[in-house]
Amino acid sequence: MLYHVPALLEESINGLNLKPDGIYVDVTFGGGGHSMEILRHLKKGRLIAFDQDEDALRNAPDDRRFTFLCQNFRFLKNNLRFLGIESVDGIIADLGVSFHQFDEPERGFMFRQDAPLDMRMNKKGTVTAASLIRTLDEESLARLFYDYGELVNSRKIARDLVAARNLKPITHVSDIVNAIGRLAPPRQENKFYAKVFQALRIAVNHEIDYLKEMLEQALDVLNKNGRLVVITYHSLEDRVVKNFMRTGNFEGEEQKDFYGNLITPFRMINRKGIVPDKHEISVNKRSRSARLRIAEKI
């Protein structure tokens, strides 16, 4: 059951520069769209797929070339070693939330449907959006919404949430909407709530921290000329990926040699991020925020 329509599928698969006998890793298996396409290009090759959401297992193909690991991609290197794999020819990551996760109201990822404030990508995790709102102090909540949602009125959001939770527990989507609804700019309510929920989701799942861990490990396990292909969906994760691919660090700090050449572990295949064309967006509206970056290990 394919439950995710991959964004930029052709462009990302081409970016991997697949070899029929190569070893590849899909660190965000999800609905399996990218993995299925990779398998079509392999003969004696091998594909390892990661996904921390146990629901993804139902999409795993019965293929001797394929191995599924129900793990967060932050454990990339250790799991490959456990399988006896020291290096690979390509790694692909399609970041963000799968359609399946968005479309299950009980997962609490969407602000348009009232549901418990969960937002865990790994159902075995102990921290939920509700528990964060219940336990974090006002300053920490404000920092969360500013850092992960880029919301300029983060302090007001935190203040109103704390005031609301003092009256009754904030456990459902509707509780957030009722608590901070007055702060949503007119005619921009959807964008406002999307940023609020993005911030909570990132915090619940440690998305930025774990992304950085995965990227550093990807650099370690990629063969020379191996490809790193990453699809991002918001500016925070895209900035992390772009900086790392360009400079080898997350701050984007350039280091140059004696001759003024940039010292970097990667060669950028596309200088600018690749975005979906109008046709793809028309048939897959959820792809509109996707941005693809490709780099080759030097």
What is the DSSP track for the chain?
------TTHHHHHHHHT--TT-EEEES--TTSHHHHHHHHH-SS-EEEEE-S-GGGGGG----TTEEEE-S-GGGHHHHHHHTT---EEEEEEE-S--HHHHH-GGG---TTS--BS---SSTT-S--HHHHHHHS-HHHHHHHHHHHH--TTHHHHHHHHHHHHTTS---BHHHHHHHHGGGSPTT-HHHHHHHHHHHHHHHHHTHHHHHHHHHHHHHHHEEEEEEEEEEE-SHHHHHHHHHHHHHSSSS----B-TTS-B--SEEES-SS-B---HHHHHH-GGGTT-EEEEEEE-
Residue 4 belongs to a domain: no
Identify the domain boundary among 172, 205, 238.
205
Q: Tell whether 132 and 201 lie within a shared domain.
A: yes
Tokens at residue 202, please? 């990132």
Beta bridge partners of 24: 47, 90
From the list 120, 284, 293, 289, the residue with the least C-alpha distance to 194 is: 289
Residue 4 has pLDDT above 90, yes or no: no
Asked if 196 contacts 180 with a C-beta cutoff of 8 angstroms, the reply is yes
Chain mean pLDDT for the chain: 93
Task: Judge whether 222 lies within some domain.
Answer: yes
CATH number of the domain enclosing 164? 1.10.150.170
- Whether residue 114 is found in the same domain as residue 151: yes
Segment of 103-107, 118-122, 263-267 carrying the highest mean pLDDT: 263-267
> pLDDT of 187-198, one tens digit each?
999 999 999 999
Counted domains in the chain:
2
Question: Domain check: are 275 and 139 in the same one?
Answer: no
Exposed e or buried b per residue across 26-52, where buried means at least 16 C-beta atoms within 10 angstroms of its C-beta:
bbbbbbbbbbbbbbeebeebbbbbbbb
Q: Is residue 92 part of a domain?
A: yes
Tokens at 44, concatenated: 């004696």
Q: What is the pLDDT of residue 5?
A: 77
Q: Which domain holds residue 143?
A: 105-205
Same domain, 185 and 140: yes
CATH of the domain at 18: 3.40.50.150
Whether 93 and 214 share a structural domain: yes
Residue at 59 is within a domain? yes
Is 146 among the domain residues?
Answer: yes
Q: Which of 205, 236, 266 is the last residue of a domain?
A: 205
Q: What is the mean pLDDT of residues 2-25?
A: 91
Statement to judge: residues 219 and 161 lie in one domain: no
Q: 221 and 291 share a domain?
A: yes
Residue 3 lies in a domain: no
- Same-domain status, 87 and 213: yes
| Residue 2 falls inside a structural domain | no
Q: Are residues 43 and 189 in the same domain?
A: no
**Closest of 217, 248, 224, 229 to residue 78, by C-alpha:** 217
**Domain termination residue (choose one: 181, 205, 229):** 205
Are 274 and 135 within one domain? no
Task: Kindly state whether residues 285 and 144 are assigned to the same domain.
Answer: no
Task: Tell me what pLDDT residue 100 has.
Answer: 45
Residue 1 has pLDDT above 80, yes or no: no
pLDDT for residue 123: 86
pTM: 0.93
**Is 127 or 3 the better-scoring residue by pLDDT?**
127
Query: Is a pLDDT exceeding 80 seen at residue 149?
Result: yes
Residue 95 and residue 46 in one domain: yes
pLDDT of residue 112: 66
Q: What is residue 234's predicted lDDT score, i.e. its pLDDT?
A: 94
